[in-house]
Amino acid sequence: MSTATLEPRVHAPRNYLNADYGWKSWLFTLDHKRIALLYLVSITFFFIIGGSFAVLMRIHLVEPQGALVQPETYNKLFTLHGIVMIFFFLIPSIPAVLGNFLVPLMVGARDLAFPRLNLLSWYIYIVGGMFTLYSAIAGGVDTGWTFYTPYSSTYSNTQVTAVAIGVFITGFSSILTGLNFIVTIHKMRAPGLTWFRMPLFLWAMYATSIIMVLGTPVLAITIFLLALEHLFHVGIFSPALGGDPLLFQHLFWFYSHPAVYIMILPAMGVVSEIIPCFARKRIFGYKIVAFSSVAIAVLGFLVWGHHMFVTGQSVYAGLIFSMLSFLVAIPSAIKVFNWTSTLYKGSISYDAPMLYALGFIGLFTMGGLTGLFLASLATDVHLNGTYFIVAHFHYIMVGGAVMGYLGGIHFWWPKISGRKYPNMWAGIAAVIIFIGFNLTFFPQFVLGYLGMPRRYAFYPAEFQVLNVMSSAGATVLGVGYLIPLIYLIWSMRYGPISEPNPWGATGLEWKTSSPPPTENFAEIPVVTEEAYAYAPGEAAGD
């Protein structure tokens, strides 16, 4: 498996990949870069599982009466699709893979602040994942990823406990990762790397970590209470036991709405790196982009009630949550305008990472704007609980977060693997994913407006045309996802060797070799210039 044996060069430079061999050197590694790769393999595994559930769902929905499975099975498919994709792919995706790999490199450190904690967080993630896989094999779970009570706590007789334990455990892995990043960014920045010289990816990781550390405990408590009611019939959420049926939703969304920002902020950070690099331009409005990440993180905690406009909560609570939700739109819009303006008078190349990043901007813009329909009370009443919601959050979480993740993987792949991938195939894949994504999810906006509720295993015949369109688009999207999987694996062995800085990017991670040595830098670098100093001869700055 070594890269060294394939290369004719006698002096293969030592790097983190060839420093040591054997399974022990991976499973007991404390190197943040190797842990990042452990995460990369695990989340790819979960992405494939979650994706297969989606494929089965889209095949099933081709016919109004359901083409493939029993309704009970369909319910388990969408539940596991959501749980796997959110808790085991999207939330760890950029932070645990790219963040783990890049945070120490970008701050100019030799590792994260707590390397052992970092390895522990991966093991915790795997244990949580095992519980979830067990639940899937042992019969599945049918509550929806939202676990609404009292259905989940007292009515569902599926594997609620196993999944709840899985999600509960995995939460701690997020908390440890967040903690590690916060401490590393605070304490381990290289000399000269002031807060406002940090790459925006670090700002995004910082904002994300704060949400992870503050929000995830609430999820843990909520799931714990759910398990308590499910197993021991302690009345908390079920009115039949004297509980409050809406309390669960308040607690759940208090975490799960900010969790959306755990997924999207890192992708915004990735895009903020890619756009300047391929436009050879300092990011437009650095501080504004940095602070808008923080603003989104803070406001994100104050908007959970917009998931509950139709639960009968007071109209005044509805008004306040509506207003706060609209406010989140503002920093998001500011970011989009700044990214776009970064292109102005740049020198733009169309390499694959850039295509993903531009695709991100387009899809995120649509996802964000359709969020206005749901922040707005009068239209949310009609659209809540329909396919409009499904379309909206897939634009944010797949069109946004996954596009950002793929863009980041393509951008830093030469650094991670030391190899290049075929740029043309990567560009084709980016375009196919963009088109396939829109074909899959755009029809769902129309379906939702027409009134088709989500989570329906069968549906009235008038919704069939749009469902067939969506399923057809999903096959295009599926093909789009397979292509990078193939050429990236191919490139690990056969790709041309990459130079340390193939894109001509700024940032400390590009100043070391590709792949980096275990200790990252022979000497701790000293930072003398602003971030994104792409302009000639000058340290771009104020």
Partner 1 sequence: MQSFPFQPDQASTIAKSVDQLYFFLTAVTLFFTGLIFSVIFYFMIKYRRRSPDERPKAIEGSFPLEVLWTAIPTVIVALIFVWSSTLYFRNAEPPKGSLEIFVTGKQWMWKVEHPEGQREINEMHVPLGRPVKLTMTSEDVIHDFFVPAFRVKKDVLPGRYTTMWFEATKVGTFHLFCAQYCGAFHAGMIGSIIVQEPDEYERWLAGGAPGESMEQAGAKVFQANGCPTCHLADGTGLGPSLLGVYGNPVKLTTGQIVTADDAYVRQHILNPKVTTVFGYHSIMPSFQGQLTEEQLNNLIAYIRALGKAQPMPKEAGKQ
Of the residues 201, 252, 437, 463, which one makes contact with partner 1 according to CB under 8 A: 463
Which positions from 219 through 258 interact with partner 1, judged by CB under 8 A? 238-240, 245-246
Distance CA 400, CA 367 (A): 8
Contacting range for partner 1; rule: CB under 8 A; set: 117-125, 161-169, 191-199, 448-456: 448-456
Whether the Cβ atoms of residue 17 and residue 31 lie closer than 8 Å to each other: no
Contacting range for partner 1; rule: CB under 8 A; set: 111-119, 145-153, 177-185, 206-214: 145-153
Whether the Cβ atoms of residue 168 and residue 132 lie closer than 8 Å to each other: no
At its nearest, how many Å lie between partner 1 and the CB of residue 348?
A: 5
Scored b (16 or more CB within 10 A) or e, 301-326 reads bbbbbbbbbeeeeeeeebeebbebbe
Partner residues linked to 497 by β-bridges: 419
User: In sequence order, which residues have a C-beta less than 8 Å from that of residue 384 and are 6 or more positions away?
Assistant: 309, 310, 374
Write out the H or E segment, with its range, that includes residue 432.
helix 423-450
Residue 460 touching partner 1 (CB under 8 A): yes
CB nearer to partner 1: give 29 or 506.
506
Residue 533 touching partner 1 (CB under 8 A): yes
CB nearer to partner 1: give 228 or 377.
377
Write the binding mask 399 to 428 for partner 1: x where contact by CB under 8 A, - elsewhere.
------------------------------
Side chain identity, residue 402: V
Q: Alpha-carbon dihedral of residues 99, 101, 105, 111, nearest 10 degrees?
A: 100
CB nearer to partner 1: give 43 or 86.
86
Write the binding mask 124 to 143 for partner 1: x where contact by CB under 8 A, - elsewhere.
------------------xx
Distance CA 79, CA 493 (A): 37
Residue 151 touching partner 1 (CB under 8 A): yes
At its nearest, how many Å lie between partner 1 and the CB of residue 380?
A: 8
Of the residues 42, 118, 216, 370, which one makes contact with partner 1 according to CB under 8 A: 370
Residue 373 touching partner 1 (CB under 8 A): yes
CB nearer to partner 1: give 38 or 374.
374
CB nearer to partner 1: give 386 or 520.
386
Which positions from 166 through 205 interact with partner 1, judged by CB under 8 A? none
Question: In this structure, what token pair is assigned to residue 30?
Answer: 């404390």
Of the residues 386, 417, 512, 518, which one makes contact with partner 1 according to CB under 8 A: 386
Question: In this structure, what token pair is assigned to residue 492?
Answer: 């690990």
Of the residues 422, 453, 500, 502, which one makes contact with partner 1 according to CB under 8 A: 453
Residue 485 touching partner 1 (CB under 8 A): no
Which positions from 307 through 346 interact with partner 1, judged by CB under 8 A? 310-312, 315, 318-319, 322-323, 326-327, 329-330, 333-334, 336-338, 340-341, 343-346
Residue 393 touching partner 1 (CB under 8 A): no
User: In sequence order, which residues have a C-beta less than 8 Å from that of residue 166 and are 6 or more positions away?
Assistant: 87, 128, 129, 130, 131, 132, 134, 135
Classified as helix, coil or strand, 413 is helix
By CB under 8 A, the count of residues binding partner 1 is: 98
Which positions from 344 through 363 interact with partner 1, judged by CB under 8 A? 344-350, 358, 361-362
Phi, psi of 512 (to 5 degrees): -105, 170
Distance CA 79, CA 73 (A): 10
Return left, alpha or beta for 192; rule: phi > 0 is left, psi -120 to 50 is alpha, else beta: left
Which positions from 86 through 125 interact with partner 1, judged by CB under 8 A? none
Q: Considering only CA atoms, which of 426, 268, 411, 399 is closest in space to residue 353?
A: 411
CB nearer to partner 1: give 40 or 275.
275
